[in-house]
Structure 1
Amino acid sequence: MLRPRIVPCLLIHEGGLVKTVRFRDPTYVGDPINAVRIFNEKESDELVVLDIDASANGVEPDFKLIEHLAAECRMPLCYGGGVTTVDQAKRIISLGVEKVALSSAAVANPDLISAIADSVGRQSTVVVIDTRKRTFGSNYDVYTHNGTRKTGLAPTDFAQQAEARGAGEIIVNSIDRDGTLKGYDVGLARQMRAAVNTPLSFLGGAGRLEDIESLIREVGVVGASAGSLFVFKGKYRAVLINYPQPASKEELVQRAMRA
């Protein structure tokens, strides 16, 4: 049975671990390998690693870095960034990564979702949807290439397309909330939950554990992913890798599901 997951998301830029605000101004916060070791110790449910350079620069995944990450990681690992072919996805899985995430390539070539799902399994095929709310009205648009290219797609429509083509999980990333620590866009989360049956994870905006609890309470069984929440501490954003203790995490999930 599926249960809510609390998942740190690490962004890789120029080989280092960074955090962004609304997809801009990447700030170096440490070494990704060291961060993986700390999340191992803290017994994280899962880990998502996204290379924000690869697709934007049109280069293939850094397989050497992926190999190092997978060798260190003692939890399920999802990698995304620069994946444009089935062979790349197969190579990443062969290095010990459990899931391969597609974003820009899935928009440009939706058939790639089906091809990778057929090759490595639906359970290992993830589609990341970066979305921003329109300036006027309540609708959202899908963006690619680190939020620089508007696609003209609605996130609900694209999620349904990804589901139909074999995506085993969809990660919805709010550009507006990224790095703001102001809470998830629960309205967007509800829309996405109503649109598809595929397992969903949400990213962007978590600033407190209470935000995760609220997301699970309002939307149901989802993955609650966060970046800044798990690498910063306090109002001055001191860099400190953190994650709730197992007992606290379980209590949070149970409390949210009972509500």
Structure 2
Amino acid sequence: MLKTRVIPCLLLRDEGLVKTQKFKDSKYVGDSINAVKIFNKKEVDELIFIDIDVSKNNGEPNWEIIKDLASECFMPLAYGGGIKSLEQIEYLLKIGVEKVVINHKTLEDPDFIRKAVQYFGSSTIVCAVDIKKNFWGKYLVYDHVKGKLTDIAVIDYVKAIEEMGAGEIFVNNVDREGTYSGFDLDIIKSVTSAVNIPVIVCGGASKLSDISLAANAGASAVAVGSLFIFQGPHRAVLISYPTQKELKEII
């Protein structure tokens, strides 16, 4: 098994698959179920699906599409979006989701994470944190529901997440998401040095060597979107994933 996991990160809007850039300008890229079937054939070890609208709309997760995704997946599935209650987590696990990614609820109610970990175990709970630089170049936690920066320092926040008992931290760099600009290795090193739990990093991969750099900076897993969805200078939609040989060469 590879020491660093390489995970396709797919964005849901309604039942379709979309891709964004810096959390804006979403582009429809295809059918989510079809994407799962392709990744099944490519023997991907794990998938992350994030519904990008449900929390903003204060809605319920799209249970039917999540059921379909979970039943189609041959690999462990992590889902995030609109999680507000322990009952929702319980139902997600019941229908086949293995990990639950919680973002905005953590900002609102840290005690919710503690309760979730108590009921379902730390290995089930992934806390997501969106990060973005302020005017002075300091990374702060970004609230994607309100669409603005908080005043919370990233390192303070990830330490708090670890103290809450979460099993993993998913760090998504808003400034680099969908830009092919490479990972910010300095913030990856800072985050991974600050906590003792696994850190998944996302935002900026442009080539396979970027995954290697993120792994060497301390990431336990690298989540990738655009690199595995688009091909060529015109960003044509063509879902891909490295072979096991390629992954072993870079990690």
- TM bracket (short chain): over 0.9
Return the alpha-carbon distance in structure 2 between the equivalents of residues 28 and 152 of structure 1.
33
Given that residues 61 and 82 in structure 2 are in contact (C-alpha distance below 8 angstroms), is that contact kept between their aligned partners in structure 1?
yes
Instruction: Verify the 8 A CA contact 1:141 1:150 in the aligned structure 2.
Output: yes
Question: What does residue 257 of structure 1 align with?
Answer: none
Aligned-residue offset at 1:14: 2.6
Shift of 1:244: 0.3
State the 1:45 CA deviation.
2.0
Q: 1:174 offset after TM fit, Å?
A: 0.2
Residue pair 2:8, 2:224 contacting (<8 A) in 1 also: yes
- Answer yes or no: is the 8 Å Cα contact 1:19–1:28 preserved in 2: yes
Distance in 2, Cα, partners of 1:147 & 1:204:
20
| Residue 185 (structure 1) shift | 1.1
Name 1:256's counterpart in structure 2.
none
> How far has the Cα of 1:146 moved from its partner?
5.0
In 1, are the aligned partners of 2:130 and 2:144 still within 8 Å (CA)? no
Task: Give the equivalent residue in structure 2 for 1:189.
Answer: 188
Does the CA contact (< 8 Å) of 1:124 and 1:168 recur in 2? yes
1:238 aligns with 2:236: yes
Q: 1:34-70 CA deviation, whole Å, 9 max, x = no partner?
A: 1011111111121100000110110121111111110
Note the C-alpha offset of 1:118. 1.2
Same amino acid, percent of matched pairs: 43
Q: 1:182-239: per-residue Cα shift (whole Å, max 9, x none)?
A: 111111101101111110010000011011011112x135101110011001111010
Aligned residues of 2:132 and 2:149 also touching (Cα < 8 A): no
2:28 matched residue in structure 1: 28
| Counterpart Cα distance in 2 of 1:8 and 1:247 | 17
Which of 223, 228, 231 is the matching residue for 2:226? 228
Aligned counterparts of 1:75 and 1:230: Cα–Cα separation in 2: 17
CA distance in 2, matches of 1:147, 1:188: 23
Letter in 2 for 1:88: Q
Q: How many Å separate the matches in 2 of 1:147 and 1:181?
A: 25
CA deviations on 1:160-183 (whole Å, 9 max, x unpaired) are 111111110000000000000111
Matched with 1:72 is 72
SS at match of 2:247: helix
> Which AA in structure 2 matches 1:65?
I
Q: Tell me, in whole angstroms, the C-alpha distance in 2 between the residues paired with 1:180 and 1:169.
A: 25
Q: Secondary structure, in 3 states, of the residue corresponding to 1:67?
A: helix
Superposition map of 1:161-172 within 5 A: 161-172=160-171
Q: CA deviation at 1:149?
A: 3.0
Contact 1:81 1:101 in 2 (8 A): yes
Q: Which residue of 2 is the match for residue 160 of structure 1? A: 159
The answer to whether the 8 Å contact 2:9/2:47 transfers is: yes
Contiguous gaps of at least 5 residues in structure 2: none
- Give the secondary structure class of the aligned counterpart of 2:37: helix
Q: Equivalent residue for 1:63?
A: 63
Which residue is equivalent to 1:247? 245
Instruction: Report the Cα distance in structure 2 between the residues aligned to 1:185 and 1:146, rounded to whole angstroms.
Output: 23
Deviation at 1:145, TM superposition (A): 2.6
Q: Tell me, what secondary structure is at the counterpart of 2:60?
A: coil
Aligned residues of 1:128 and 1:173 also touching (Cα < 8 A): yes
Q: Which amino acid aligns with 1:186?
A: L
Quote the residue 2:149 is aligned against.
Answer: 150
CA–CA separation in structure 1 for the residues paired with 2:104 and 2:178: 21
Shift of 1:151: 2.3
Q: Whole-Å Cα distance in 1 between the matches of residues 88 and 2 of structure 2?
A: 28
1:140–1:220: structure 2 CA closer, same or farther, 3 Å change rule? closer
Find out whether 1:45 has 2:39 as its counterpart: no
1:134 maps to what in 2? 134
